[in-house]
Amino acid sequence: MTEIRNIAIIAHVDHGKTTLVDRILHQVNLFRENQEVQDLILDNNELERERGITILSKNVSVRYKDTKINIIDTPGHSDFGGEVERVLNMADGVLLIVDAFEGPMPQTRFVLQKAIDLGLKPIVVINKVDKPNCTPEIAQEKVFDLMFSLEATEDQLDFPTVFGSSKAGWMGPDWKEPTSDISYLLDEIIEHIPAARHKEGTLQMRITSLDYSSYTGRIAVGKVTRGQLVPGSQVSLVKRDGKVVKTVAKEIYLFEGLGKEKTKEPVPSGEICAVLGLEGFDIGDTIADGEEPEGLTPIKVDEPTMSMYFVANNSPFFGRDGKFVTSRQLRDRLYKETEKNLALRVEDTASADSFLVYGRGILHLSILVETMRREGFELQVGQPKVLTKEIDGKKHEPIEALTVHVPDVFSGKVIELVTQRKGDIANIEIKEDRAHLDFLIPARGLIGLRNQMLTATEGEAIMAHRFYGYEPWKGDLGVRRNGALISLETGTAIAYSIDKMQDRGKFFVEPGEDVYAGQVIGENTRQDDLTLNIVKTKKLTNMRAAGSDDKTAIAPAIKFSLEEAMEYIRNDEYIEITPKYMRLRKILLNEHDRKRQAKSVTQE
């Protein structure tokens, strides 16, 4: 019987997890000599490739020296903590990848904490040792200090370290002496990661992730923790609330290389597999013996920290380029997402066409919006809000631990920006000419901070944050945005009008773009909102006037990314998102309605 090693790869965003998996796949000759292979094989979702981040965890397996190694690639962003936590339950050890220049980062701490709590044995890979000015030994020291502060056991602290560069394709015991390939790393995995243990007894398998096939429907993925799973056998599903449902495990697939292979043999405990044919299961349920079912403890998932309204599109331009525009389609899609996206929650509201969606952060929610937009949905989203809690009768809010790396000359500006938003300084370290600043800041203070930070530091700041805990409400943040420039009429934006209004503020629309009454077309130079008519054309006469036909020079329109727009809008605004366009608008499109509402608010 082949020995099995189940290993999860964890690291901060951009420290080279997915590239390393590519190298492992090449090392074991998974591809034919003449086969064309693209890079970042595991980031197969279009959004993952564009952004260069991993969003969904993936399973692949390689065979090396008569051992099967199941590799689980995990996301590095703390917004996808729900995903990481679940898949670590399938692993027996972790590969912690750390950038030799940056050392361990806040997100590394977040994922490592989960792995240490589960008692997993780490192997530390100091990656990118070919970067100029990097300090692999210091990075290794920092990992040790980090593990010590996370209360790792003696065995976990006695971790093996591998140095190398996944991009250059080598790993070895010494960073000064490059080797020819990464076989040293694979040998270390076989030597130090415990083999998956075979546990006798009745069947137990926790469903830790889902796959979907349009042909067979939902597929349950997990590790058999006890007994064995026989294809075609009668099994019981033990739900989170203890309810037991009888069902059949019709087909079972094992992960081989990048794909799945159907098996007729019983799957032993310790092996990761995919089960087809089950009905009505959720992540965290246990597949147990048909006769004597025993459930495993359900997975506890991090609480959401942010909420946002998703509303069916009701702008004057609705239905122009989307396939799915009704509130029923929007509702079905959101509830379908909660089946596989554990950290997401959806609630119906008093209005039939708006839904309250809870998520782990702006990135978590924006990835959902972006995915839906690409599927052909039209929708509107409101301003993201942080979730508060009542503790001992007092209002508490989520606090994030924020880390900023900047050149030392900008550290004053960064401290000023964060303290304006009620952030407290936790630690300051200056190494050569770079400052490493740690803060504790209210989660709502992070909304809109990234743009200001990048502007103030000339694009040099590297920001990362993770959830720290709940603390008493800090009061008003005092962050003010200038007022909006709002379109008065529906029509096409005219260059002549925009040119004449340039002193009023910055515009978000180009000449020739269609706009509607109530759309936010720019930012005012002052604090209050201003309604403008930019669809007005020039009155033509047959008289020539000196100087009136000068060339117009219009400043380029400001274009937001989805996350920037979510951080920018106020609570009386929506972002309208369609497959082709993204527009900012006022919730009340009619100017009289807005004035009436403003009046009633001031009277109260």
Binding site per annotation, positions for GTP: 14-19, 127-130
Pairing of strands 272-276, 251-256: antiparallel
User: What values do phi and psi take at 457, rounded to 5?
Assistant: -110, 20
Return the bridge partners of 98, or none: 126
Q: Do the bridges between strand 530-532 and strand 491-492 make them parallel or antiparallel, or are there none, so unpaired?
A: unpaired
Q: Please calculate the CA angle 266-270-273 and round it to the nearest 5 degrees.
A: 60
Give the whole-angstrom CA distance, residue 504 versus residue 532.
9
Q: Which residues contact 279 (CB under 8 A, 6 or more apart)?
A: 247
Q: How far apart are alpha carbons 469 and 411 in whole angstroms?
A: 25
Cβ atoms of 253 and 273 within 8 Å: the answer is yes
Q: Which tokens sit at 230?
A: 């026989």
CB burial of residue 376 (10 Å; 0-12, 13-18, 19+): middle
Q: Around Cβ 38, how many Cβ atoms within 10 Å?
A: 9
At 581 the three-state DSSP class reads: coil
Return d(Cα 157, Cα 175) in angstroms, integer. Answer: 21
- The 3 state secondary structure assigned to 55-115 is CCCEEEEEEECCEEEEEEECCCCHHHHHHHHHHHCCCCEEEEEEECCCCCCHHHHHHHHHH
Asked if residues 326 and 398 have their Cβ atoms less than 8 Å apart, the reply is no
Binding-site entries: 14-19, 127-130
